[in-house]
Structure 1
């Protein structure tokens, strides 16, 4: 297993095009495609979580910085439950929902989208997710 590929720090240090633009998410999509080529079952829980959190945080920050139609804020699971107890009472605390973005009414789940990408591949593109998230009204 290529440890360099599994270190998301490597992509962030090496790639100057990671500038929080929507187009920069295509680079993160490519990175996750490379990660998918490894045997995901051989990743430790720590490695998997590190990839998900760092890629998810980047996706979320990209949405937050570029979507001028809403004021997105990061909230943790407990605060999200307070905002929408009906939805979150049916959900278990997990990596997917550890932190989410909300505008106070709607939620978007960047970490969950990274997990879906790792499981399903390009059909769960982070680029397309971010662009479509910003167009939801």
Structure 2
């Protein structure tokens, strides 16, 4: 009986603070200082353009830094993208640990368990999952179906608002 209760327990993992680190914890690099500001990263859809530029910079001129701090970049950029989506769709999506949603919803059964550990956005009401951290990881690995993060954000927001 306790297994049933444990299976259904969703574990929250709020990444809002990680998203804010995109402008609060910025390197001394001149481009970063000028572009990764609170004014530019205001959680609007248009602000994703700065994230796209930053991601491309990381993958080209700062590839060594990206490799060294890969998990941190995936977390921060994924959290920022997720917060933009969350704020623009204004639905009941919240951040949860992957495993707790995997055990709660059949929507993740097709996702391989090696993606375990990623935090994701999940709506209990509609039983839907949005995985911005996975999208960021795939983008950095060159395995993304999206040419940029703006395309991903616009698609997800459009799909959610159409529901």
- Work out whether the TM-score is over 0.5: yes
What's 2:157 paired with?
134
Q: Is the 8 A contact 1:53 1:111 kept in 2?
A: yes
Distance 1:41 1:122, change over 3 A: farther
With normalisation by structure 1, the TM-score equals 0.77
2:44 counterpart residue number:
21
1:73-105 deviation line (CA, Å, top 9, x unaligned):
11101221132246347521436x510111221
Find the aligned partners of 1:42 and 1:134 in 2 and give their Cα distance. Answer: 28
The change in CA–CA distance for 1:122 and 1:86 in structure 2 (over 3 A counts) is closer
Give the total of aligned pairs.
127
3-state DSSP of counterpart to 2:113: coil
Partner residue, 2:56: 33
The superposition leaves residues 13-35 of structure 1 with CA deviations (integer Å, 9 ceiling, x where unpaired) of 84221000011011001000001
Root mean square deviation, CA, Å: 2.9
Alignment partners' CA distance in 1, 2:114 and 2:57: 28
Point out where structure 2 has 5 or more consecutive residues left out of the alignment: 1-20, 27-31
Structure number, greater radius of gyration: 2
Deviation by residue 1:30-60 (Cα, 9 ceiling, x = unmatched): 000001104459822xx00000000000011
Any gaps of 5 or more consecutive residues in structure 1?
1-6
